[in-house]
A and B are shown apart, each in its own frame.
Chain A
């Protein structure tokens, strides 16, 4: 992968936690990937697969057990607190539950302006103007600046959280399940907002979600995680329409579709995902895999292999597929305005 193009690079990134009983939880295990400049990389996986931990590691909200995180060519893991502070404004996060990530005692304005004040953005009136600008940018009425978080609806609260993240003028945003707690109609509003902002401000975004549908409508590329590892990564249309890893195929087949046409594949995984405290030997997915397993699957952990240009999967049995992609994605295409 082109080093120049990567804004964020995770190298062999690993984070293990030790429980009270002395057992090791392998939340993130030897993960290597890039987030390219100006792209939205969707990170999907089921609960407990380590996607949130991975997002936090990239922001260095959490120290890795092993491995490195490069941001704009600089190794963040080697930096002390002072040096790290220079990078903080450039990396921002948006969380799942907006109400718990906003201070209930502060008004919208007081929540959005600290990044500006800390950066010495300008005079108090310049800061106030900038807050107004940011609120308008995320689709909030600036006259609501003196209101408290609980006076806003869930969607509006998430807009405040986004405005706060943007106040620092970041290059990179980690959005961790930003729409999971919202209803579909509000979810669609926030998704189209994030898409517009990403394009308008040329942001690089890691978009974490358990929902493939949501990920599909914001991502340029998609990474699929299973039990602490990335099992597949590639262009969004390729991952969604000709997935290479059996887990990705099962995940796609499990999402109930609207409409009369039946699913293209009917795959049902049996049982629950194994615990990250008890990762199976060999391929992590082999205990739930429905393909004809080989002895290699039981003993050898598969590495991510590039099977088609830019599309990689960690499976011994995966083969390149050359079916044509049925529907081209239009993440980059024109985005019609909302129903007003």
Chain B
């Protein structure tokens, strides 16, 4: 397990609201190896972005990490002093967010913003930083890179801005890139360009990527492993191809059935009825029980644990609790 880069253990983040304590991240455990892309997938409000922010200790107030460990290269990030954390962010962990227009400073030229990150982390300064910025933009596929450094963010298109964001995120050659919905604001043809770019960075630089997305197509095409989140918890985890082929958790199964399949217009979409539960007062048993077509007595009273089930797979569901009750491996269907 020497190649293990990031290991998150039982992370819990709490948010105090006027209605009571909310747990957007409730006991999340994740592992990312070097050079691997792990997708965190779920619907809005399931806690996937909050998980990403918790990893780098950027949880917005009044949110607070209450327990757990974030082992990055063997060291717990949650125990680091703030100053050291600042050196890790940007240097060893790069970040890309959904909307580049709100993450880039509108009053500074993009060249300045790329050079700033190089300078702050002591990677390069002066003409060397400028030269490196040009190379970075060229690597991102931006034409006439030298002139582009003089542009302000509003002068660039959405796809260009996202390339600049990625350039900044990888400028200091981080080990891990956290990409939070990096293509959600973009059209499909641009999404394809940006995802290809991330895949190339991963292949060429051995970058590990935590890809946060709601799009199962993106997960399928661009990740090695996937964790499905529902109401603050991971409900299923495993290698991407296997998990999407044989989903075990009823939520994952439902999610896959409600996505329109372009290549298979003969497959019907089937909605999951109901809506996501309130995490201020979650149901006592399984959080998915109220929407689950297969819920039985135990699901309403007892929270299922995330248990191993099959090669590299884990699932949080009572249906898989007692394998002897089920006819063989793979269980349902």
Contacts and interface: CB of A to CB of B under 8 A. Distances in A.
Interface of A: 46-47, 153, 155, 183-189, 191-192, 210-214, 216-217, 236-237, 240-241, 250-261, 264, 268-273, 327-330, 335-336, 338-340
Contact of A183 (B43, B143, B245): B43
Contact of B217 (A186, A237, A256, A335): A256
Contacts of A187: 258
Given A46-B189, A269-B189, A340-B293, A258 B260 contact: no
B188 A254 contact: yes
Given A187-B258, A240-B262, A256 B293 contact: no
B189 A250 contact: yes
Given A254-B191, A338-B271, A259 B265 contact: no
A250 B192 CA distance: 10
With most chain A CB atoms within 10 A of its CB, the pick from B192, B272, B293 is B192
Contacts of A241: 265
Contacts of A214: 260
B88 interface: no
B222 interface: yes
Given A184-B43, A256-B215, A258-B259, A338 B265 contact: no
Given A183-B214, A340-B273, A251 B262 contact: no
Contact of B269 (A155, A188, A210): A188
A153 B262 CA distance: 28
A335 B268 contact: yes
Contacts of A339: 254, 257, 270-273, 293
Given A260-B241, A330-B268, A186 B160 contact: no
A232 to B, nearest CB: 15
A258 B244 contact: yes
Contacts of A189: 271-273
Contact of A258 (B189, B196, B261, B266): B261
Contact of B254 (A185, A260, A273): A185
Given A155-B275, A212-B188, A255 B262 contact: yes
A3 B214 CA distance: 43
A126 B157 CA distance: 53
A327 B266 contact: yes
B301 interface: no
5 contacts: A183-B43, A187-B258, A188-B270, A258-B256, A339-B273
Interface residues of B, number: 49
B259 A254 contact: no
A255 B195 CA distance: 11
Interface in B147-194: 157, 159-160, 187-193
A236 to B, nearest CB: 7
Contact of B258 (A184, A237, A273): A184
Contacts of A236: 265
B44 interface: yes
B271 A185 contact: yes
A262 to B, nearest CB: 9
Contacts of B258: 184-185, 187-188
| Interface of A: prevailing SS | loop
Contacts of B143: 271
B255 interface: yes
B328 interface: no
Contacts of B259: 184, 188, 213, 258
Contacts of B187: 46-47, 210, 273
B216 interface: yes
A184 B255 contact: yes
B160 A327 contact: no
B160 A259 contact: no
Contact of B265 (A46, A216, A260, A335): A216
A272 B265 contact: no
B331 to A, nearest CB: 18
B220 interface: yes
Given A254-B192, A257-B263, A272-B157, A188 B272 contact: yes
Contacts of A210: 187-188
Nearest to B160: A272
A285 B251 CA distance: 42
B138 to A, nearest CB: 15
B218 interface: yes
Contact of B271 (A192, A261, A271, A272): A192
Contacts of A185: 43, 254-255, 258, 271-272, 275
B131 interface: no
B221 interface: yes
Contacts of B193: 268-270
Interface in B31-77: 43-44
Contacts of B221: 256-257
B18 interface: no
Top 8 nearest A-B pairs (CB, nearest first) are A188-B258, A256-B217, A213-B260, A188-B271, A183-B43, A46-B187, A189-B271, A254-B192
A329 B262 contact: no
A160 to B, nearest CB: 15
A328 B195 CA distance: 31
